[in-house]
Chain A
Amino acid sequence: DTGVSQNPRHKITKRGQNVTFRCDPISEHNRLYWYRQTLGQGPEFLTYFQNEAQLEKSRLLSDRFSAERPKGSFSTLEIQRTEQGDSAMYLCASSLVSGKLFFGSGTQLSVL
Chain B
Amino acid sequence: DAKTTQPPSMDCAEGRAANLPCNHSTISGNEYVYWYRQIHSQGPQYIIHGLKNNETNEMASLIITEDRKSSTLILPHATLRDTAVYYCIVREGPDRVGGTYKYIFGTGTRLKVLA
Contact = CB atoms under 8 A, between A and B. Distances in A.
A85 interface: no
Contacts of A33: 100
A100 interface: yes
Contacts of B44: 43, 91, 101, 103
A102 B101 CA distance: 14
A100 B43 contact: no
A42 B34 contact: no
A45 B103 contact: yes
Contacts of B107: 40-42
Given A42-B108, A45-B104, A106-B43, A55 B87 contact: no
A104 B101 CA distance: 19
A41 B107 CA distance: 5
B99 A42 contact: no
Given A100-B46, A101-B46, A56 B99 contact: yes
A74 interface: no
Contacts of A44: 105
A91 B43 contact: yes
Nearest to A44: B105
Max count, chain B CB within 10 A of own CB: residue among A44, A56, A100, A106: A100
Interface string B33-60: 0101000011111100100000000000
Nearest to B47: A100
Interface string B1-33: 010000000000000000000000000000000
13 contacts: A33-B100, A40-B107, A41-B107, A42-B87, A42-B106, A42-B108, A43-B105, A44-B105, A50-B100, A100-B46, A101-B36, A102-B46, A105-B41
